[in-house]
Amino acid sequence: MAHDFSRINSKEMNKLNKSKVLKLIFEGKVLSTGDIIKQTGLTAPSVSRLVKSLISEEGLVKHSGIGHSNGGRPPFFYDFNGSGRYIIGIDVGATYIRAVLSNLDAEILYELEVLTEREKGYESVIQKLTDIIGRLSNRKGIDSGNIMGIGIGVAGLIDKKKQNINFSPDFQWENVSFYDDLVKNSNIPIYIDNSTRLMALGELGYGIGKRCDNFIVVNVGHGIAAGIVMDGETISGSFGHSGEFGHMTINPCSEIVCECGQRGCLEALSSGRRIAETGRERCFESPLLVEYCDRNINKIDAKMIADAARSGDRVANEILDSAIDNLCLGIRNLVNLLDPEMILIGGGVSLNGEIFFNKLALHMEGKLMPTKANINIVPVTFGENSTIMGALTLVLHKVLNFELIN
């Protein structure tokens, strides 16, 4: 959509131009004033003024050296300055809440991990998050006034305007005022999004997305979801509910009921939760699983199944093969529908590494049309930190757009 710049005053235009320059420097697409002039079309005096402000006033750019002269004044080189300002990133998982304090370069300075204990209810989770924010923002040597924002990733359908949670199958929350309940205890701006969409955003900000404009992140953990990036932008949908890949029907004849209430969902067939449930159902077919769980089937989780499969256990391998084959059917549908350049796989189940990805490659064979057969399907860049990196990027983008800087 074309912008109507006639209605933008000089202050807003200055902010837009400054943001344009800052993004180029952050992305490493420019080195010198000359590079900025070529890529923005701005005049030399304007670029000089904007860069000077970004260095001396906002402190978001720094000199990185001086180039060789070709007869005139030698060029100054510039780099993004991410030190001295901070972001809190939080991943609200079904089992653990993980949080970090980083600078704008995503260098993690402090991190925390606590049990989510979702069975204790919504108010308990809100209190844990409030405590975590307090602990990180009050760290010795950190000026809380320089914490630019808090990014939070949580599984569920999130209202993109109100930032509240309409529904979360993982937590069994419905229409909870997540943002409102957090912001009343914080003076720091808070931004919330779906955890899988943040995984994709993290790849855009700091990972493989810097060189790939169309890709999908598939999150295979306690549940299953997808973060979709098209033309360098994450897709949120009209209400912020896009990417519910796990609730795509894979087998309408299945008797397995998903947590969303439907039958045959991908999440009900391939998630870490389902892998663990199947392991408990079939445990006594496998002496190795009985040994691993010490005859307490409640100890069985997806990692235990993967460990047993890695040791050659027949039952564990059958469980994984079934789950991953269904996952591949879902991935085939995504590839055919959206034509991405790449599929990145993250989430707790994928962290089982080689055995997961070897089986994934095996079960993908023959499922894609010839024109799609060579698509790269690879692990996410940041492993278990993927959602956290996205939460950091969520705030970083606000900084780059000058939404958090006067």
Whose tokens are 């929350």? That residue is 173
Q: What is the rounded CA–CA span in Å between residue 245 and residue 218?
A: 8
User: CB-based burial of residue 316 (10 Å sphere; 0-12 exposed, 13-18 middle, 19+ buried)?
Assistant: buried
Average pLDDT over residues 129-153: 93
Closest residue by Cα to residue 144 from 177, 187, 179: 187
Q: What is the rounded CA–CA span in Å between residue 57 and residue 403?
A: 16
Question: Taking all residues of the chain, what is their mean pLDDT, rounded to a whole number?
Answer: 91
Whose tokens are 């344009």? That residue is 20
For 25, other C-beta atoms within 10 Å of its C-beta total: 23
Kindly report, residue by residue over 289-302, the tens digit of the pLDDT. Answer: 999 999 899 999 99
Q: What is the rounded CA–CA span in Å between residue 196 and residue 258?
A: 19
For 85, other C-beta atoms within 10 Å of its C-beta total: 21
Q: What is the rounded CA–CA span in Å between residue 309 and residue 318?
A: 8
pLDDT at 6 over 60: no
Are 201 and 234 spatial neighbours (Cβ–Cβ below 8 Å)? yes
Long-range CB pairs of 126-131, under 8 A, 24+ apart, other chains included: 126/178, 126/181, 126/182, 128/97, 129/90, 129/92, 129/97, 129/182, 130/182, 130/185, 130/186
pLDDT given at position 122: 95
Whose tokens are 């975590």? That residue is 132
Domains of the chain: 5-80 (1.10.10.10), 86-203+387-400 (3.30.420.40), 208-380 (3.30.420.40)
Whose tokens are 């943040």? That residue is 198
pLDDT at 405 over 80: no
pLDDT given at position 161: 83
Q: What is the rounded CA–CA span in Å between residue 188 and residue 125?
A: 19
